[in-house]
Amino acid sequence: MDMKDKEGLIKIITTTESKDDARCIAEHLVERRLCACAQISGPISSFYWWKGAIQSSEEWQCAIKAPARNYKEIERAILNLHPYEVPQIIAIPVIEALAAYKDWVIEITRD
């Protein structure tokens, strides 16, 4: 899928330091119909370089399903709510999806 395909679906992933932070982001996005669904899983173990050293932490992952057209607005919302200095916010194009599921995601997030 071309990320410029505004009717295509994406899965956005972000991680947070607490379940409450992940829940806040998920609820905000769903309430505003920026995404059709957000799932929280964790805790997960993360290992990464930060400020010159290898770090590790327990995090919660939030997986967000949305139309590609909403990416920039979702990114802004996450940045406003996220406690991290540089949060992970990545979008993965959905190559295939059940047609009825795709239709639901597109319809539920219409203005």
Map out the domains of the chain with their CATH numbers. Answer: 18-108 (3.30.70.120)
Minimal CA–CA distance to 39: which of 71, 8, 14, 9?
A: 14
Please state whether 48 falls in left (phi above 0), alpha (psi between -120 and 50) or beta.
beta
In eight-state DSSP terms, residue 98 is -
- pLDDT tens per residue, range 19-36: 999 999 999 999 999 999
pTM (predicted TM-score): 0.91
- pLDDT tens per residue, range 32-53: 999 999 999 999 999 999 999 9
User: Residue 100 has what pLDDT?
Assistant: 97
CB burial class (10 A; 0-12, 13-18, 19+) of residue 17?
middle
User: Residue 1 has what pLDDT?
Assistant: 47
User: Per-residue pLDDT for 107 more than 90?
Assistant: yes
